[in-house]
A and B are shown apart, each in its own frame.
Chain A
């Protein structure tokens, strides 16, 4: 029996996994995607992708993690090595370390904005910026993209330091004493704040009676009125698949890392389903009821559409901040909104750091303290580029290659390793070990055939539609090119570094990794 740390309670595990899945995307990305891709009709491909893609992948990741944990592996290189008796397996798993680390680097910075804006809400720091343009300029000045409200990066940097310190304080206290303890407070608070804001939105009604068309109900109509003609467009189906992919945090190596702290006969079937359900509740019910309905009620449909098309940050940081200034107790409501986003962010970012921490502890016998310190220092070094080169697209470049394309690559490799190399029969047995619910047998066939084909199709489509133009830097301003290359070089170096570490670790621990011969 290995001496790995364990989760203290089942609800702690489920909340940690749900916290990992629930992120900024639940509140900001989902409503925009739904509104732009057929409204209510979007939910048809969304739920189909949820059941055919996300749920099977999630169970595969939980099973891979629990199986790897039995062999004292909390990260993908070791997990793949246990599932596939081939020297290449561990190198394939490097992608899991890479994706979670890269996303952690820029995600922490975005997370720190939510903390900064929570503070500005309480202190009415942005009050007085009454229009979208003014608020947008406030955000850009905070990010150091333009001058005006802030002198340089100082303020943003302070909140970044607080955010990094908070993340690593939690991680320093380990799985049970840090992450589990924290999510038991943060997740219920997140749910209470989210439900409170969603109910509040319903009572906003029509803020300006002289413009009856600008109402919360028009906002709900924007998200939910179905446009069935959209269903004939392949893009809508891919957008839905992309959304369920991002929302459950599959393809990052984080679910596996958390699941590796389970015991052999702990249930994963019911716990996994509960995790996914909490995430969907937050996304579909809460995420769809706050930002877009408020934006439509205060700015009207056409402006709200423009805001939504401007991206998630415009919706979350700009339009919401303008609205709060017009509401009674707006500073408190603003604080609740931004701190809710901060909780959504931090419960995800601590999960992103976990695979590398586990890797260092298990493969190099580093102490927990040393591993946390190394990851913290590495993050602190790399995030500097994101902070200072944000305006040149550094963050977007990392987000595309790791946070979008990388997820699909990891997901495809893990489903192939699990269902086809390890074998679906053994895999099915593993998933059902200790299960508290009976998973319908049809899921077996979905995992084996439908899920890999679905992911393969997404990968091919995205390669031709997005990846090639982005790789060739089409439509990029010339001044950005050097920085985008810089982002790529950093990513390549990190990938190469992780590969080298895996090579070294297996050289050192050769005698320990004989699980295929027992």
Chain B
């Protein structure tokens, strides 16, 4: 088993990280902008 971090391995890590970090920034950012729940008295 190779112990060298191959360019393809690095690419996979960066791609996976980008996906989850991007998704988190998009969704959590949007939630933070709308951080209120409807009130009962509608």
Chain A interfacial positions (CB closer than 8 Å to B): 1, 6-11, 13-14, 39-41, 43, 47, 213-215, 217-218, 220-226, 262-263, 265-267, 270-271, 273-274, 276-278, 280-281, 283-285, 288, 296, 301, 305, 434, 436-437
Is the Cβ of A217 less than 8 Å from the Cβ of B27? no
Residue of A nearest to B39 (CB): A263
Residues of B13-38 at the interface with A, using a CB-CB cut-off of 8 Å, are: 13, 15-17, 19-21, 23-24, 26-28, 30-32, 34-38
CB distance from B26 to the nearest CB of A (A): 8
| Residues of chain B whose beta carbon lies under 8 Å from any beta carbon of chain A | 1-6, 8-13, 15-17, 19-21, 23-24, 26-28, 30-32, 34-38, 40, 42
Contacts of A277 in B (CB 8 A): 20, 23-24, 26-28
Asked if A271 contacts B5 (CB within 8 A), the reply is no
Most buried by B among A10, A265, A283, A288: A10
B33 → A minimal CB distance (Å): 9
Contact: A280 with B9, CB < 8 Å? no
A13 surroundings in chain B (CB, below 8 A): 37
Q: How far in angstroms is the closest Cβ of chain A from B19? A: 7
State A296–B3 Cα separation when bound (angstroms). Answer: 9
Decide: A226 near B9, CB < 8 A? Known: A10-B31, A221-B2, A271-B31: yes
Contact B30 A436 (CB under 8 A): yes
Bound complex: CA of A283 vs CA of B17, how far in Å? 10
Q: A7-B37, A221-B3 are in contact. List 15 more A-B contacts (CB 8 A).
A: A6-B37, A9-B36, A10-B31, A10-B37, A40-B11, A47-B19, A215-B3, A221-B9, A224-B5, A225-B5, A226-B8, A263-B40, A265-B38, A278-B28, A280-B24
Instruction: Contact check, A284 vs B36: say whether CB atoms are below 8 A apart.
Output: no
Inter-chain CB contacts under 8 Å: number: 120
Smallest CB-CB separation from B11: which chain A residue?
A: A40
User: Do the beta carbons of B38 and A266 come within 8 Å of each other?
Assistant: yes
Given contacts A226-B8, A436-B34, contact A220 B13 (CB under 8 A): yes
Please name the residue on chain A nearest to B1 by beta carbon: A301
Docked-complex contact B3 and A218, CB < 8 angstroms: yes
Q: How far is the CB of A59 from chain B (nearest CB, A)?
A: 13
Output the nearest chain A residue to B24 by Cβ-Cβ distance: A277
Q: What A residues does B9 contact at CB under 8 A?
A: 39-40, 220-221, 224-226
Q: Is the interface of A mostly helix, strand, loop or mixed?
A: helix
Closest Cβ of chain A: how far from B3's Cβ, in Å?
A: 4
Residues of B within 8 A of A6 (CB): 37, 40
Also in contact, A278 and B5, with CB within 8 A (given A6-B40, A9-B37, A263-B38): no
A213–B4 Cα distance when bound, in Å, is 8
Complex contacts, B3 vs chain A, CB 8 Å: 213-215, 217-218, 221-222, 296, 301
- A-side contacts of B42, CB under 8 Å: 265
Which has the most chain B C-beta neighbours within 10 Å: A13, A276, A277, A305?
A277
A40 touching B13 by the CB < 8 A rule?
yes
Cα A9 to Cα B34 in complex, Å, equals 10
Knowing A40-B12, A226-B9, A280-B23, say if A274 contacts B36 (CB, 8 Å). no
| A7, A215, A274 interface centre (most CB from chain B within 10 Å) | A274
Q: What is the chain A residue whose CB lies nearest that of B23?
A: A277
B18 to chain A, nearest CB (A): 10
CA distance A214 to B10 in the complex (A): 18
Give 27 pairs: A residue, B residue, CB < 8 Å, sorted on A. A9-B37, A10-B34, A10-B36, A10-B37, A11-B31, A39-B9, A40-B8, A40-B13, A41-B12, A215-B3, A217-B5, A218-B5, A220-B13, A222-B1, A223-B13, A224-B10, A262-B37, A276-B23, A277-B20, A277-B28, A280-B20, A280-B23, A281-B21, A285-B17, A285-B21, A301-B1, A436-B34
CB proximity of A293 to chain B, nearest CB, Å = 10
Tell whether A273 pairs with B5 under 8 Å between CB atoms, given A6-B37, A7-B37, A266-B38: no
Query: Which residue of the partner chain B has the closest CB to A10?
Result: B35
Q: How far is the CA of A265 from the CA of B40 in the complex (A)?
A: 10
Give the distance to chain A from B8, nearest Cβ to Cβ, in Å: 6
Q: Which 9 A-B pairs have the closest CB atoms?
A: A40-B12, A225-B9, A218-B3, A274-B27, A221-B5, A277-B24, A224-B9, A280-B20, A224-B13
Most buried by A among B4, B24, B32, B42: B24
Cα–Cα distance between A375 and B23 once the two chains are bound (Å): 37
Which residues of B have CB within 8 Å of A14?
A: 28, 31
- Measured in the bound complex, the distance between the Cα atoms of B42 and A437 in whole Å is 22
Question: Chain B's nearest CB lies how many Å from the CB of A202?
Answer: 12
Cα separation A301 to B35 with both chains bound (whole Å): 46
Tell me which of A224, A270, A276, A284 contacts B31 (CB under 8 A): A270
Q: With both chains docked as a complex, state the minimum distance between the C-beta of A25 and any C-beta of chain B, in angstroms.
A: 16
**Which of B9, B11, B19 counts the most chain A CB atoms within 10 A?**
B9
Residue ID in chain B nearest A228 by CB atoms? B8
A278 and B24 CA atoms in complex are apart in Å by 6
Residues on A with beta carbons closer than 8 Å to the beta carbon of B17: 284-285
